[in-house]
Every structure is written in structure tokens, then in C-alpha cells.
């Protein structure tokens, strides 16, 4: 297999760096993803010029412990699944169906010395679910009226404007 140089997708993403994590909102898919420290380090190191082996070496230096290439492939598989890479990661056959448990056993990770890379999908509530105002005239939900599922419009007379916050 040829050497793979992963690159993060940048288009249509809003990236917010937190203390040890990265929150990425995918505008194209309307999906938020939280990368834990290890996955965030892999995503940041993936610049399209650095190989998987080199990323593993960088992480080893940054985290002060030996990081196996399998951990990088595991993180890349998760990033790929969430469409956060420019090109699909050509996972080596053993890594294609690697579950979290398999990964822990094969990588020989015991205890909590290194945080396993994790990309967690988050879902934001709709305005109605969050209890926010829809700002439309209350009605039956047809022709521009507020949808009746707006919790504030359920008890308002038809035609009033939803202003609850």
C-alpha cells in the first residue's frame, strides 16, 4: 500500500478550539462533532504533507508516550466516517472493521495512559424543541404561519406573533 497523507476537510466547517478538544460544525451536513484531545491532535497534524507514521511520531512527542500507527488509523477512520477528511482514508484491511474493543486489545492499551481517539456527534435542538420563539404569526402552520408544534403558540390566539424566548 502506498503512503497516505491525510488532509482535513476545511470547506463548510466551523471550527472552535477548546482547551483540549475541537468542536467542528459541518454546515453541509448540519452536524456538530466533538474531537477529544487525541482525535484533535490527529486532525491538526493531518496537513496533506504528513504521513500516518509521521503523525504517530508527532503525537508520541506531544503526548510523551509511544503512539502506535494503529491509533492514528483508528482516529482517521472516525474522522473519515464523519466526513472531516478531504479524501477518504484508505484504511489497511485490518483497520477497516476495527471496533473500539478490538482496537484496545490489538493496540495493547491497558489502563488510561493514553486517551483513545474519539469523534462524538452532537445534535442541536430545533428552536421549538429548545423552547425558543419562532417569531411568526401563530396559526395552523400553513402559508407562513407558525407551526403548531411551537410550544409558545399552542395557547396563543391565531394571528398573534410568537415572541416568547
Q: With H, G, I as helix, E, B as strand and everything else as coil, classify residue 85.
A: strand
Q: How confident is the model at residue 80 (pLDDT cuts 50, 70, 90)?
A: very high
Its pTM stands at 0.65
Q: Report the C-alpha gap between 146 and 158 in whole angstroms.
A: 9
Written as nine digits, the cell of 34 is 466533538
Tens of pLDDT, residue by residue over 44-63, are 999 999 999 999 999 999 98
Residue 123, C-alpha cell as written in the block: 445534535
Instruction: Note the pLDDT tens digit of each residue in 5-41.
Output: 999 999 999 999 998 899 999 999 889 999 999 999 9
Q: How far is CA 78 from the centre of its chain?
A: 9
Q: Which domains does the chain have, with CATH numbers?
A: 13-122 (1.10.10), 125-165 (no CATH)
Cell numbers placing 151 = 410550544
| Ramachandran quadrant class, 118 (left: phi over 0; alpha: psi -120 to 50; beta: rest) | beta
Letter string b/e over residues 125-146, b meaning 16 or more CB atoms within 10 A of that residue's CB = eeebeeebbbeeebbeeeeebb
Amino acid at each position: 500500500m502506498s503512503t497516505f497523507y491525510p488532509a482535513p476537510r476545511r470547506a463548510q466547517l466551523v471550527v472552535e478550539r477548546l482547551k483540549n478538544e475541537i468542536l467542528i460544525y459541518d454546515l453541509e451536513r448540519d452536524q456538530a462533532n466533538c474531537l477529544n484531545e487525541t482525535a484533535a491532535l490527529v486532525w491538526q497534524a493531518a496537513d496533506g504533507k504528513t504521513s500516518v507514521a509521521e503523525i504517530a511520531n508527532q503525537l508520541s512527542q506531544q503526548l510523551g508516550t509511544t503512539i502506535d500507527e494503529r491509533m492514528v488509523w483508528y482516529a482517521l477512520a472516525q474522522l473519515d466516517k464523519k466526513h472531516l477528511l478531504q479524501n477518504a482514508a484508505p484504511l489497511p484491511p485490518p483497520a477497516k472493521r476495527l471496533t473500539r474493543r478490538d482496537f484496545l486489545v490489538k493496540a495493547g492499551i491497558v489502563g488510561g495512559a493514553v486517551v483513545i481517539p474519539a469523534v462524538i456527534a452532537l445534535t442541536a435542538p430545533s428552536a421549538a424543541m429548545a423552547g425558543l420563539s419562532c417569531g411568526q404569526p401563530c396559526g395552523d402552520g400553513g402559508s407562513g404561519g407558525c407551526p403548531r408544534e411551537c410550544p409558545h403558540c399552542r395557547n396563543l390566539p391565531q394571528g398573534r406573533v410568537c415572541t416568547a424566548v
